[in-house]
């Protein structure tokens, strides 16, 4: 997401927005090592920003795993007043948003973050980020139909990419089939549409995994922070590399006045670099906790 440079400087606590504009026009601000004096300049979370040569502290990065129950909309706010994600993560101060979406009636794993670069990469088809679903469909699905899912089926927006499908069993009494499917595309209602195409409507759908993340030990409505290992693995899966350091950075952050602050960071600092790209400064919350949301 692009934001105006002065807004980012103000959000980082360097100065008020008005003062930040003066910093920019006064030639004190660099973006990715280049002097910027234009007030209209826009930056993303990936850009490295310095004031008087000192890197600014951007917003702490938050990575929260959420087990969405059925009947919850995948938004942080619902104009119709339906239950949405925000109702379950009221303890979060940071402005997070979900990476991808689950239908109202789909339950399962959602990643919430304020890391725009990560969200962008995870949802970009080139990264082929895998998503695994537990599916129950109406009808007894023969092997050849499951093979069709594996090879790809023709939907109105084109052929689906090959999928990994594992039959888990038939419920002969109720006429249901249970299987697991792993896909790496993120088209709207993709799994439901794939099953509809075969003539077996979905009765129950649950996302159990996303790349290295899973819902182990969590109950519906739970959310928890990712641990450092999970964050590292996720960033790698998204083509972003990560260097952790528990130490204070060599260069101290600029404070509100643009001067260097001597304050120690409260959480371990994490500096991530996009492979082969310019410097990117993220900070990550590494605590592991469960939040009691509305259930």
Positions touching ligand URA (CB under 6 A) are 102-103, 106, 189-192, 205
Nearest to 132 by CA among 99, 98, 109: 109
Nearer to ligand URA, 165 or 205 (CB): 205
Measured in degrees and rounded to the nearest 5, phi and psi for residue 13 equal: 80, 15
Name every residue whose Cβ is closer than 8 Å to that of residue 243 and which is 6 or more positions away in sequence: 270, 271, 272, 273
Cα dihedral 259/262/268/272 (nearest 10):
30
Nearer to ligand URA, 103 or 228 (CB): 103
| Element holding 118 (H helix, E strand) | helix 116-123
Nearer to ligand URA, 5 or 137 (CB): 137
Nearer to ligand URA, 184 or 279 (CB): 184
Nearer to ligand URA, 39 or 159 (CB): 159
Nearest to 223 by CA among 111, 95, 122, 142: 111
Measured in degrees and rounded to the nearest 5, phi and psi for residue 100 equal: 75, 180
Nearest to 128 by CA among 164, 92, 86, 103: 164
Q: At closest approach, how far in Å is the CB of 285 from ligand URA? A: 27
So which residues are the catalytic ones?
Answer: 103
Q: At closest approach, how far in Å is the CB of 150 from ligand URA? A: 16
DSSP assignment letter at 248: P
SS3 content of the chain, % helix, strand, coil (to 5): 20, 35, 45
Nearer to ligand URA, 193 or 252 (CB): 193
- Are the C-beta atoms of residues 16 and 36 closer than 8 Å to each other? no
- Are the C-beta atoms of residues 88 and 294 closer than 8 Å to each other? yes
Q: At closest approach, how far in Å is the CB of 106 from ligand URA? A: 3
Q: At closest approach, how far in Å is the CB of 188 from ligand URA? A: 8
What span, in angstroms and rounded, lies between the C-alpha atoms of 252 and 56? 9
Q: At closest approach, how far in Å is the CB of 209 from ligand URA? A: 12
Q: At closest approach, how far in Å is the CB of 71 from ligand URA? A: 13
């Amino acid at each position: 997401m692009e934001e105006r440079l002065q807004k980012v400087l103000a959000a980082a606590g360097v100065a008020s927005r008005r003062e930040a504009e003066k910093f920019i026009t006064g030639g004190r601000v660099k973006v990715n090592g280049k002097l910027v004096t234009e007030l209209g300049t826009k930056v993303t979370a990936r850009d490295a920003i310095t004031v008087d040569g000192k890197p600014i502290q951007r917003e702490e990065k938050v990575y929260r795993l959420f087990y969405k129950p059925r009947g919850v909309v995948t938004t942080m706010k619902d104009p119709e007043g339906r239950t949405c994600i925000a109702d379950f993560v009221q303890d979060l101060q940071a402005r997070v948003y979900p990476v991808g979406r689950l239908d109202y009636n789909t339950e399962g794993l959602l990643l919430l973050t304020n890391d725009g670069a990560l969200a962008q990469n995870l949802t970009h088809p080139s990264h082929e980020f895998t998503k695994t679903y537990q599916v129950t469909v109406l009808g007894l699905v023969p092997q050849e139909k499951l093979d069709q899912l594996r090879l790809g089926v023709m939907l109105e927006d084109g052929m689906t990419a090959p999928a990994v499908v594992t039959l888990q069993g038939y419920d002969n009494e109720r006429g249901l089939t249970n299987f697991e499917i792993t896909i790496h595309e993120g088209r709207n209602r993709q799994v439901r549409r794939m099953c509809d195409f075969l003539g077996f409507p979905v009765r129950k759908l649950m996302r159990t995994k996303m790349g290295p993340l899973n819902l182990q030990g969590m109950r519906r409505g739970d959310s928890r922070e990712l641990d450092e290992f999970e964050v590292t693995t996720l960033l790698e899966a998204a083509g972003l590399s990560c260097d952790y350091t528990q130490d204070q950075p060599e260069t101290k952050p600029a404070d509100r006045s643009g001067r260097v602050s001597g304050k120690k960071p409260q959480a371990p600092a994490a500096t991530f670099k996009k492979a082969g790209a310019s410097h990117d400064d993220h900070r990550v919350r590494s605590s592991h906790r469960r939040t009691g949301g509305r259930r």
